[in-house]
């Protein structure tokens, strides 16, 4: 699914109006009725609905929602917040059709104290062009300070939030739900807006499919339809050689669990053969807990230069996954450097392997093209430096993926996957139950397994991120977010693979 900028959404609007064709006021009516329907499906008509409207088209939506709910016997109060002198035509047309008398608000103290019902925020939408400050900021504070039991529903965008750039400094409505039209907005996907957006509900409003299809954007959402198209079912005459041989280099004394989790996830992702390369202390643990994996050990407790010779001698590996629980010992760093000089196929690099690369940045140039890096935000910062906000971090992510010809998956909710062509995909699966030690090791295993069995890097990273999150969602559904652990993600992979064939 494409993510459009404010400018593109405006163009989509205009294209729909011209080519469906539909009048602008009827398109607004369609958007408002989608919102009114959602509200009536979720809140009883005994609730009073307090609707705050600006004077742009977001406010116009609010007025139309007010009328539609009033017609369904909701008690409705409308407050027109005088954000500007100018009102749009569609706002004015809907004001004329409003069956009740609105109250006008010119100052923060004029906001009524609301003790029951629900609040609808239709003050500012995608037309926000500067930070909200002054008395309007006071109005927003007042609304945000309403008692917790009063849900705030923002229409299209929480008022005060920019969708294409950072608005950390703008005062913003904190919504419990954002009822947004047709497409995700970039700002919804970045952690800086998490407290503002609340739960996102996307409502289709019939924007012209031709426009959506032909418009290009660097930002996309990875959804179920996309991964179903990427998934390749196994061939009936396949043998274990068909699905590749992966080498997983992981673990150090006290962190063999990371290697075990990665190995299990790699095997449960369909790899043909897996060899793990571990420090000697990991041998018994791996052979006992993952008998399907072959095991080569380094004589030391840290992985050393030996993994250089290993790879040099045994080029049969289709890919290498390196990093989980690895440690950053100097001998390991030397080994990694030699590995990068020798091994030229796309690989998966995670955790301490990334930390080593941050310590020796010259190694960045040695990473094979199309490799997949999976930093969490701290590892990303160590690798590429700090940025002043998350939109800038996203630009840096794209820049580095292009510069080094890598797939870089920046982990978190809506993990951002930047590709060597500068396109960014945001993963839509996963939940806070996955914020638990080892979840990232599982991801590395999945990606290594997919890459080894022949998926191209781009497909492996999109498919892998999606099924990792989806298996986490299935685990949380069954066990709760609190009680699930990283190993449970592996246990639910099968359930997700079963749903992939078209
Ligand atoms: N295709 C779509 O997505 C559709 C969008 N519609 C609605 O139209 C909205 C966009 O409407 P508009 O472009 O009129 O924009 P807004 O409704 O966001 O209002 C913009 C107005 O607010 C003023 N303003 C901007 N920043 C301000 C600030 N910080 N303080 C005070 N005033 C400020 C501007 O000068 C302008 O007058 C969308 O968010 C959506 O709700 C729907 O009506 C129909 C279809
Ligand atoms: N709140 C969340 N929503 C969605 N996914 C999450 C959330 N928290 C963590 N995850 C996912 O879990 C994984 C955690 O990885 P990481 O931080 O490397 O953990 P570890 O180092 O413990 O293995 C990432 O893939 C991340 O996207
Ligand atoms: K709004």
Is the C-beta atom of 400 inside 6 A of ligand 2? no
Which bound ligand lies closest to the C-alpha atom of 409? 2
Alpha-carbon torsion (381, 387, 391, 397), positive or negative: negative
Tell me how far the alpha carbon of residue 417 lies from the centroid of ligand 3, in angstroms.
29
Tell me, what's the pLDDT at 52?
Answer: 98
Centre of ligand 2 to C-alpha 107, Å, is 44
For residues 297 and 289, what is the distance between their CA atoms, to the nearest angstrom?
A: 16
Separation of CA 179 and ligand 3 centre (Å)? 9
CB atoms within 10 A of CB 305: 18
Ligand 1 site: residues with CB under 6 angstroms?
9, 12-13, 27-28, 31, 54, 56-61, 83-84, 86, 88, 124-130, 132, 136, 155-157, 181, 205, 207
Distance 258 CA to ligand 2 centre (A): 14
SS3 (DSSP) at 337: helix
How many angstroms separate the alpha carbon of residue 282 from the centre of ligand 2?
A: 25
412 lines ligand 2 (CB under 6 A): yes
319 lines ligand 2 (CB under 6 A): no
pLDDT of 312:
65
Of ligand 2's listed atoms, the one at least distance from the Cα of 432 is 1
CA of 121 from ligand 3 middle (Å) equals 5
Which one of the ligands is nearest to 57 CA? Answer: 1
Give me ligand 3 centre to Cα 125, in Å: 5
* Residue 277 φ/ψ, nearest 5 degrees: -115, 115
User: Atom 2 in ligand 2: which residue has the minimum CA distance?
Assistant: 432
Q: Which residue's entry shows tokens 């004029």? A: 110
Mutate to test the pocket of ligand 2, among 375, 434, 447, 476 (most ligand atoms within 8 A of CB): 434
In the chain (502 residues long), the average pLDDT of successive 10-residue segments reads 96 97 97 98 96 98 98 97 94 98 95 95 96 96 91 98 94 97 96 95 96 96 96 89 93 96 98 95 97 91 74 79 95 92 94 97 97 98 97 98 98 98 98 98 98 97 98 98 98 97 81
Q: What number is the ipTM of this complex?
A: 0.91
Buried-state track 379-393, b at ≥16 Cβ within 10 A, e below 16: bbebbbeebeebbeb
Take residue 483 and report the two structure tokens written for it.
């009680």
Q: Which residues contact 477 (CB under 8 A, 6 or more apart)?
A: none
Do 78 and 102 contact (CB within 8 A), yes or no? Answer: yes
411 annotated binding-site participant: yes
Q: Whose CA is closest to atom 30 on ligand 1?
A: 132
- pLDDT for 309 equals 74
- The tokens of 161 are what? 């939030």
Counting atoms of ligand 2 from 1, which one is nearest the CA of 469? Answer: 5
Q: Which atom of ligand 2 is nearest to the CA of 411?
A: 27
Asked if 49 and 55 count as a contact pair (C-beta separation under 8 A), the reply is no
94 annotated among ligand-binding-site residues? no
Measured in residues, the chain has a length of: 502
Tell whether ligand 2 has an atom less than 6 A from the beta carbon of residue 430: yes
CA dist., res. 109 & res. 111, Å (int):
5
Instruction: Report the C-alpha gap between 257 and 286 in whole angstroms.
Output: 9
pLDDT of residue 63: 98
Distance CA 336, CA 340 (A): 6
Ligand that lies nearest to the alpha carbon of residue 56, given by its number in the listed order: 1
Contact 166, 391 (CB under 8 A): yes
Residues with CB under 5 A from ligand 3 (ion): 58, 121, 154-155, 159
Query: To which residue do tokens 């690895």 refer?
Result: 326
Put simply, whether the predicted model's pTM sits higher than 0.90 gets the answer: yes
65 Cβ contact list (under 8 Å, min separation 6)? 32, 35, 36, 39, 51, 120, 122, 155
Q: Which ligand has the nearest atom to the CA of 185?
A: 1
> Quick one: CA dihedral 210, 215, 220, 226, positive or negative?
positive
Domains defined along the chain, listed by start: 6-216 (3.40.50.10260), 224-499 (3.40.1190.20)
């Amino acid at each position: 699914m494409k993510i459009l900028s404010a400018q593109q959404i405006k163009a989509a609007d205009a294209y729909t109006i011209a080519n469906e064709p539909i009048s602008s006021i009827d398109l607004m009516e369609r958007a408002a009725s989608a919102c009114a329907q959602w509200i009536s499906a979720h809140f009883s008509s005994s609730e009073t609905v307090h609707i705050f409207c600006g004077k742009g088209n977001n406010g116009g939506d609010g007025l139309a929602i007010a009328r539609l709910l009033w017609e369904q016997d909701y008690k409705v109060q409308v407050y027109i917040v005088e954000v500007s002198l100018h009102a749009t035509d569609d706002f004015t047309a809907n004001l004329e059709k409003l069956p009740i008398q609105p109250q006008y608000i010119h100052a923060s103290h004029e906001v009524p104290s609301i003790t029951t019902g629900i609040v609808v925020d239709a003050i500012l939408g995608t037309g926000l062009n500067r930070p909200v400050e002054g008395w309007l900021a006071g109005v927003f504070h007042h609304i945000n300070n309403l008692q917790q039991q009063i849900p705030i529903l923002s229409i299209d965008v929480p008022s005060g939030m920019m969708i294409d750039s950072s608005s950390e400094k703008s005062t913003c409505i904190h919504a419990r739900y954002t009822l947004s039209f047709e497409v995700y907005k970039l700002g919804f996907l970045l952690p800086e807006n998490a407290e503002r957006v609340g739960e996102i509900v996307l409502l289709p409003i019939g924007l012209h499919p031709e426009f959506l299809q032909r418009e290009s954007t660097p930002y996309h959402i990875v959804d179920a339809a996309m991964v179903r198209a990427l998934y390749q079912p196994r061939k009936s005459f396949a043998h274990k050689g068909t699905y590749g041989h992966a080498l997983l280099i992981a673990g150090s004394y006290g962190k063999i669990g990371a290697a075990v989790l990665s190995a299990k996830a790699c095997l449960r992702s369909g790899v043909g053969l897996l060899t793990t390369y571990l420090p000697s202390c990991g041998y018994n643990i791996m052979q006992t807990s993952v008998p399907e994996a072959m095991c080569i050990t380094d004589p030391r407790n840290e992985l050393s230069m030996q993994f250089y010779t290993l790879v040099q001698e045994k080029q049969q590996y289709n890919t290498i996954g390196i990093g989980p629980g690895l440690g950053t010992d100097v001998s390991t760093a030397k080994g990694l450097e030699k590995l990068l000089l020798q091994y030229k196929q796309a690989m998966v690099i995670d955790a301490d392997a990334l930390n080593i690369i941050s310590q020796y940045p010259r190694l960045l140039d040695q990473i094979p093209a199309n490799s997949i890096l999976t930093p969490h935000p701290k590892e990303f910062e160590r690798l590429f430096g700090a940025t002043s906000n998350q939109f800038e971090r996203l630009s840096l992510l794209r820049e580095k993926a292009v510069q080094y010809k890598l797939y870089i998956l920046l982990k978190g909710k809506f993990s951002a996957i930047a590709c060597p062509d500068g396109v960014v995909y945001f993963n839509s699966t996963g939940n806070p139950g996955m914020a638990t030690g080892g979840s990232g090791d599982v991801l590395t295993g999945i990606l290594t397994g997919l890459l080894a069995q022949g998926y191209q890097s781009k497909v492996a990273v999109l498919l892998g991120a999606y099924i990792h999150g989806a298996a986490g969602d299935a685990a949380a559904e069954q066990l709760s977010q609190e009680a699930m652990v990283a190993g449970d993600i592996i246990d639910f992979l099968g359930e997700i693979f079963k749903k992939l064939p078209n």
